[in-house]
Amino acid sequence: MKRAIFVTATGTGVGKTFVSLRLLELFASRGYCVGAVKPLETGVQDIPRDAQKLLNLCKRHNDAFATLEPADLCAYTFPLPAAPFCADSAGVIEEDAIFAKIEEMASRCEILLIEGAGGPLVPITKTLYMIDIPKVTGAHTLLVTPSRLGCINETLCAMEVLESRAVEYEWCINIHEDADSFDRVSRPFFDSHFPGWIESGGGLERFADKILESS
């Protein structure tokens, strides 16, 4: 799956959907037929909200998504806001169904965004973790990290996890939380150790270029 991007983060509420939407708009503006899938979404009471946001954008740029409903972008949804393994109290998750859903959405587009749930080591089943999705699909991985106090440690820990599992990745910082203090509290470290790091608001073009060049 050459033109697929798996978007993960250091944890929940960091900005995966925000970055996924920006990437979809970016690829669409370059003339590509875009699509998205949210294989697992928890905390769903009626409509899977992340999937709804992704679908609304896809419908504006790809007629193949026009008749779909938000739930069609998900293999599984659960009401409990927890890791899928914990939210799946009835044990209904089948790993093959997750990858079949990804393949189904990929068949409708030229570039597919796969949005994960939580961070790389969020458990899906007893043996499957979020980090396994790009390993199985071959999707490019983008790690989204926060700008809040403590983001240096969060970012380095997530990087170490990805590298220990031999997952190639790019990463970006979503400048949102603690934005007013980020330049003093966290930016000096990132500038020193990762010159040219990507900021989600204005640097994703470089990541998009790399995806298109490698496809």
Give the residue numbers marked as catalytic: 38
**35 in helix, strand or coil?**
strand
**CA distances (Å), origin 196, targets 95, 161, 192:** 37, 22, 10
CA-to-CA distance for 39 and 53, rounded, in angstroms? 14
Sheet architecture: strand order including 198-199: 34-37, 111-115, 4-9, 140-146, 169-174, 198-199
**191 in helix, strand or coil?**
helix
